[in-house]
Structure 1
Amino acid sequence: MATSAPASYTFGGEPLTADRARRMRWTATGLLGAMAVMFFTTHGLVGTHPAWGYVNAFAEAAMVGGLADWFAVTALFRHPLGIPIPHTAIIPENKDRIADTMAQFLRENFLTPAVVARRMAGMNIAKAVGEFLTAPPLPVQDGDGPSRLTGGVSELLAEVLESLDPDRLGNQVRAGLGNQFAKIDVSPLLGRMLEGAIADGRHMPLMDGFIRWAGLTLEDNEDAIRDIIESRANAVMRWTGLDERISTSVLDGLYKLLAEVLVDPEHPIRSKIEEGLEKLASDLQHDPKTRERVEAMKRDLIENPAVAEWWMGVWERIRQSLIRRARDPENALGEEMRKLLKEMGGALQQDQRLQLQVNRLARRTMVGVATRYGGQIVQLVSETVRRWDAVTITGRIESAVGRDLQFIRINGTIVGGLVGMTLHFIVGWM
């Protein structure tokens, strides 16, 4: 029986090839030929000794059994001796029906939601994924699983960031962040933060900084303040020079006041400022008008075109930085991803609740895939087999199971011979 080009298969670590099937076919054919030679050789010796009768009966029945099995095996793949006998060349003649039958068998026994759910119920996919992610990396030339996964994720991230419209993606990210920020009631949050800062004394450095800033501002604008005071004075005061002395006294008083407030933690003005901050913290949390003003400021900030323009610049820098880091093998991004994947793998291995959730999600996903796309999958199988020509499908099936079929021929030859010898024994004693 001719076969297609040798193709390798692997089962249990042992390579199964078309060459081995061919060698087994020649073995079965050689055994059949040996039985034929034995039959014709011993046919003239039957009457000389009873043992030759048994040998001849064995050879005759073995030859018949071997020929019958040869015909049966050959009829699966082609016409025996090229003669178009009905119901031979079964696989080539019925490949379309075989394709439909295979697809239907796959659909009914593997891709039904109940079967998928039952099969996946006993699988701990989360733990298996965790073990893969935490496995020590192999040398790159041997197939570095985690490292290659990290490289693939990095390259995929870079490709996604490059392929998508940066402006559209940036606007989508900004809109998403804006929507989330709009849902946050920032006024009570600010009030609690301010209240906590006052309680812990964290507002004191801020107050000192404000006082220093007020002093520096006063110093930088001293001439302008003098002009304002002197412009308010009347002509008599300007004629007597009192306006200058008044402005100097006012400035000196302000400098002295700021210095006293800065060095005296118990200064009354500090107490007044703290009271004002405490009231502001309370109003941010409880006063509806204050909260509404803060929310209005937040909405104005979100809708401000200047903020949108600022964000687009920030987003573009982030995008370009991520692309460079993903493409740079010496960058820390790969190491960060490896650490992240390893931590994720450890959590999948140790956290029973996380395993339950992941396994449940995987099971529901596969059941959904089987429900929605099961028909398309089996249609793909059916159409693929239908597109194979008769030589291809015959060669592939014969290369896969041909060796086992030749064992059928060998067994048929031996069993037939034993049956023939047994019948010869029974007939001889009747």
Structure 2
Amino acid sequence: MTKLRAPLSSSEAVPAPLRRMRLVATGLLVAMAAIFLLARAFDHLHPALGYVRAFAEAAMVGGLADWFAVTALFRHPLHLPIPHTAIIPRNKDRIASTLAQFLRDNFLTPKVVARRMQRLDIAAAAGRWLANPVHGDGRIGRGASRLAADFLESLDQERLGGMAKGAIAARLRAIDIAPLLGQALGAAIAKDRHLPLLDGMTRWAARALDANEHLIREMVHSRAGSIMRWTGLDETLANKIIEGLEKLLVEMNEDPGHPLRLKAEEGLERLAYDLQHKPELRERVEAFKLEMLENQAFQRWIDGLWETSRAALLRLARDPGKALGGKMGETLRQFGVTLQEDRKLADTINRFARRSAVGAATDYGDGIVRLVSDTIKGWDAQTITGRLENAVGRDLQYIRINGTLVGGLVGVLIHTVDTLL
């Protein structure tokens, strides 16, 4: 696989503090060398200079040893191919695999994600922000809004819209709608919520009768015999039929205990039961649903639903303050208050968030691990060396400084023991 040089970023550029620490560590080593040369040249003048020479000599050894050790991690010292140097560049593929596996085993396992999510009260945090968004961190809100808007606008709208509309249609196809309709109708009947429906049906029937009286008269006239038409009895019969139907509809509308109204209620109850338990009716409803989904008018409705939703999301992302005003904002604020006060609802949302996170770790954990591993393996030696060295930072140079000073102290100790013996 071709190793690519990743673009230079601010994380790869050597930070100024790190450059200063390198100069300090190197300068200290050069100073020890200069002190050693001076002390060696003049140590015959005074016995104390022997201690200075021992300190400087051991400090040089310690500083050089730690410089070699630090440098050997990332590159060949003095560009010499010494064995077991440039450890990180030589083993970067193994490091990438190990790091990715460490990430997988310690951060992306369902058990770890579930334990971490158990400590988070997402519902309460969301409730506090929704209930009083103006007191939140404005920078976070503005940044999140810009990010969301840029993200929505950068996506391929045709492809995204197709995915969204496809998901809606797939979800509708997967729903067994007949039992849901039966349960909804049964629940409405149990709480007398079907009564406005019956009232509306009788009023609609009365208006339909009034608008189509001429059809009843024509039907009676065409079916009546010549004698009835000659005597005008057909007109009288038609009037009686119309008056009787009008009276029946008025009585049904005014009398909750009217026999036909009770029959209608009985029919609704039977329909609610059949929708849930009769396979043949459920099949007919399912066939009607699929036919509706294939209808072009329904497809245009889904298209409009997606465009409306996308436009609303963009308005919300571009101007959350304005979007959170009015009825929508009031609804969201009330929902935020409810999230803080209703622990049962909050627990449900937290449980859903926890399950979603655990599911994401289960489904996409391996993909994230491969992304990390393949990305690091794709870097060249210079890239991974620069990034890891900058990540560790000044501590590497402190190792050199400490090695120089500790080496010097050990040298003084050894010289003291040698002098005393």
**TM > 0.5:** yes
Match of 2:18 in 1: 21
Q: CA deviation at 1:401?
A: 1.9
Amino acid at match of 1:278: L
Contact 1:36-1:63 at 8 Å conserved across structures:
yes
Q: What secondary structure is seen at the aligned counterpart in 2 of 1:48?
A: coil
Counterpart position of 2:396: 405
Residues 1:274 and 2:265 are matched in the alignment: no
Give runs of aligned pairs for residues 377-392 of structure 1, distance below 5 A.
Answer: 377-392=368-383
Counterpart AA for 1:102: L
Q: 1:356: Cα distance to partner?
A: 3.2
| Stretch of structure 1 that moved more, 372-381 or 206-215 | 206-215
Aligned partner of 1:59 in structure 2 is 56
Deviation at 1:331, TM superposition (A): 6.9
Is this contact kept in 1: 2:252–2:261, CA < 8 A? Answer: no
Aligned to 1:8: 10
2:411 corresponds to which of 408, 413, 420: 420
**Which aligned pairs between 1:135-174 and structure 2 lie closer than 5 A?**
135-136=133-134, 143-146=142-145, 149=148, 159=158, 162-163=161-162
Query: Could you give the per-residue CA deviations for residues 304-358 of structure 1, whole angstroms, max 9, x where no partner exists?
Result: 6998499642441452354156347897998389747666665555543344334
Q: Determine if contact 2:275/2:282 at 8 Å carries over to the other structure.
A: no
State the distance in 2 between where 1:309 and 1:98 align.
53
Would the alpha carbon gap of residues 329 and 419 (structure 1) be closer, same or farther in structure 2, given more than 3 Å must change? closer
Deviations 1:222-255 (A, max 9, x none): 6886787782259xxx6xxxx25x678x379859
- Tell me by how many angstroms 1:404 deviates: 1.4
For 2:304, the equivalent position in structure 1 comes to 320
The structure 1 residue matched to 2:99, chosen from 97, 102, 114, is: 102
Please give the per-residue CA displacement for 1:138-181, whole angstroms capped at 9, x wherever unaligned: 87999442475478569979656742597x8887577567x414
Give the match for residue 76 of structure 1. 73
Q: Is the 8 A contact 2:292 2:298 kept in 1?
A: no
Matched, 1:231 2:230: no
For residues 375-408 of structure 1, give each alpha carbon's deviation from its aligned partner in whole angstroms, at most 9, with x where no partner exists: 5543443333222222222222222224211111
Report the Cα distance in structure 1 between the residues aligned to 2:332 and 2:397, rounded to whole angstroms: 50
Provide the residue aligned with 2:385 in structure 1.
394
- Contact 1:187/1:291 (8 A) holds in 2: no
Equivalent of residue 121 in structure 2, options 116, 120, 124: 124
User: How many residues are aligned here?
Assistant: 405
- Cα separation, partners in 2 of 1:24 and 1:6, compared to 1, 3 Å: farther
Indicate the SS of the match to 1:88: coil
Q: Counterpart of 1:409 in structure 2: which amino acid?
A: R
Aligned residue number for residue 30 of structure 1: 27
Residue of structure 1 equivalent to 2:181:
184
Q: Which has the larger radius of gyration?
A: 1
- Letter matched to residue 304 of structure 2: Q
Shift in Å at residue 66 of structure 1?
A: 1.1
CA displacement at 1:59 relative to structure 2: 1.7
* Alpha-carbon distance change, 343 to 322 in structure 1, aligned in 2, over 3 angstroms: farther
Partners of 1:92 and 1:288 in 2: CA distance: 71
**1:62 aligns to what SS in structure 2?**
helix
The Cα RMSD (Å) is: 5.4
With 40-49 and 22-31 compared, the bigger mean Cα shift is at 40-49
In the superposition, relative to structure 1, how do residues 407 and 105 fare at CA in structure 2: closer, same or farther (>3 Å)?
same
- Answer yes or no: is the 8 Å Cα contact 2:129–2:336 preserved in 1: yes
Query: 2:83 aligns to what SS in structure 1?
Result: coil
| Amino acid across the alignment from 2:162 | S
Residue 65 of structure 1: how far off its partner (Å): 1.4
Assess if the C-alpha contact under 8 Å between 2:376 and 2:384 holds in 1. Answer: yes
Using the size of structure 1 for normalisation, the TM-score is 0.68
Alignment of 1:332-347 (within 5 A): 335=323, 339=329
Distance 1:379 1:152, change over 3 A: closer
CA spacing shift, 1:79–1:296, aligned 2, 3 Å? closer
Asked whether the 8 Å contact 1:69–1:408 carries over to 2, the reply is: yes
Q: Could you state the TM-score of these two structures normalised by the residue count of structure 2?
A: 0.69
Give the whole-Å Cα distance in 2 for the aligned partners of 1:422 and 1:17.
38
Distance 1:319 1:278 in 2: 42
Q: Is the 8 A contact 1:113 1:371 kept in 2?
A: yes
Structure 1 unaligned segments of length 5 or more: list them. 11-15
